[in-house]
């Protein structure tokens, strides 16, 4: 026996749902119908399976029919709700059961990126790092020169940064700027972390955005080595993801650290994931802020908060974090 056409199924379900909404005679029965028709596991939700099952050439047609029916039934529900409410107000036959539980208002919650950022800061604070912040609009000295990025470096091109029109300032491209301001204002030893937003004119796609969040870590003291950096990162990631997490440092290059490394974290079956960069503070960076590199050494690391959040919440697209879609945000509440 041939399978029933999906459009016929949608028509049949639509007629049954319309009849149920029209037959609801009071607020209690209307609420029950609403749950049965438009609830998370209601009849309309079940119709979405028809879209998945439809042949490729018919997915658009079936999807349009399901969405059209959803809008029609939502409008009909609002119409019936208003009609029953008017009946109560005018002394009609509709009644209100005062023993029913009330409807709670929507309550706000922290954004998932804020949750991750605060968790990172708490872990770093437990390791002795103080939280500090810096301006998002920076001058070229703090964003480039003090970080050992000379004037001819391609990272300073207009195509790589958001410069302010007519001013020698830009939206900071990294939270490393906070390192410079901290070392200018405080003598060593130093141990700080700096969460915040950074801005780069990247093409927006599933893994890139022109605005994203980082957390920067800096430690300056006598005798600090690369071993201290790796140990700190390992303790940090174990506190975040559990004792089974793996850490790998791959040789790399950053103008403000020497030696430098990319930070990869192993998430079991998900394999290695690049999380950020790190390294020993370059002597030229120390000299730019008046610290003697022969007496003091230090390490620095920068981690992408969105990348950590995408792994933590299994989010496939970085754009979801900035679209203000309440349906998405509620799933991560």
**Distance (Å, whole) CA 231 – CA 234:** 5
User: What is the rounded average pLDDT of the residues 291-296?
Assistant: 96
Q: How confident is the model at residue 161 (pLDDT cuts 50, 70, 90)?
A: very high
User: What is the rounded average pLDDT of the residues 257-284?
Assistant: 89
pLDDT of residue 287: 96
Partners of 138 in the β-ladder: 170
- Strand, helix or coil at 80? helix
Give the pTM. Answer: 0.66
DSSP state of 213: E
- 10-66 pLDDT tens trace: 888 888 888 888 888 788 888 888 888 888 778 888 888 887 887 878 878 888 888
Q: How confident is the model at residue 314 (pLDDT cuts 50, 70, 90)?
A: confident
Which of 12, 18, 145 has the alpha carbon at shortest distance from 73? 18
pLDDT of residue 53: 82
CATH architecture of 112-331: 2-Layer Sandwich (3.30)
């Amino acid at each position: 026996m041939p399978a029933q056409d999906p459009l016929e199924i949608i028509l049949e379900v639509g007629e049954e749902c319309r009849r149920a909404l029209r037959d609801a005679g009071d607020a209690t029965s209307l609420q029950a119908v609403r749950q049965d028709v438009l609830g998370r596991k209601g009849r309309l939700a079940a119709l979405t399976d028809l879209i998945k099952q439809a042949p490729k050439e018919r997915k658009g047609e079936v999807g349009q029919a399901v969405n059209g029916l959803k809008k029609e039934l939502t409008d009909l529900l609002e119409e019936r709700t208003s009609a029953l409410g008017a009946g109560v107000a005018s002394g009609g036959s509709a009644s209100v059961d005062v023993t029913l539980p009330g409807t709670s208002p929507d309550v706000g919650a922290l954004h998932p990126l804020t949750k991750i950022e605060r968790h990172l800061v708490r872990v770093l604070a437990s390791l002795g790092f103080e939280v500090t912040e810096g301006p998002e609009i920076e001058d070229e000295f703090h964003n480039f020169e003090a970080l050992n990025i000379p004037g001819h470096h391609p990272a300073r091109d207009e195509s790589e940064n958001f410069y302010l029109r007519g001013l020698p300032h830009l939206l900071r491209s990294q939270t490393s700027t906070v390192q410079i301001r901290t070392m200018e204002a405080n003598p060593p030893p130093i141990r700080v972390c700096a969460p915040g937003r950074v801005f780069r004119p990247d093409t927006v796609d599933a893994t890139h955005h022109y605005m994203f969040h980082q957390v920067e870590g800096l430690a300056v003291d006598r005798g600090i080595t690369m071993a201290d950096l790796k140990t700190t990162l390992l303790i940090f990631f174990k506190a975040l993801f559990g004792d089974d997490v793996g850490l790998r440092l791959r040789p790399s290059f950053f103008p403000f650290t020497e030696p430098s490394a990319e930070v990869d974290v192993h998430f079991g079956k998900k394999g290695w994931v690049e999380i950020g960069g790190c390294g020993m503070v370059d002597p030229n960076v120390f000299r730019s802020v008046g610290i003697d590199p022969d007496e003091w050494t230090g390490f620095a690391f920068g981690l992408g908060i969105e990348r950590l959040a995408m792994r933590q919440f299994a989010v496939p697209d970085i754009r979801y974090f900035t679209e203000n879609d309440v349906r998405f945000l509620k799933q991560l509440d």
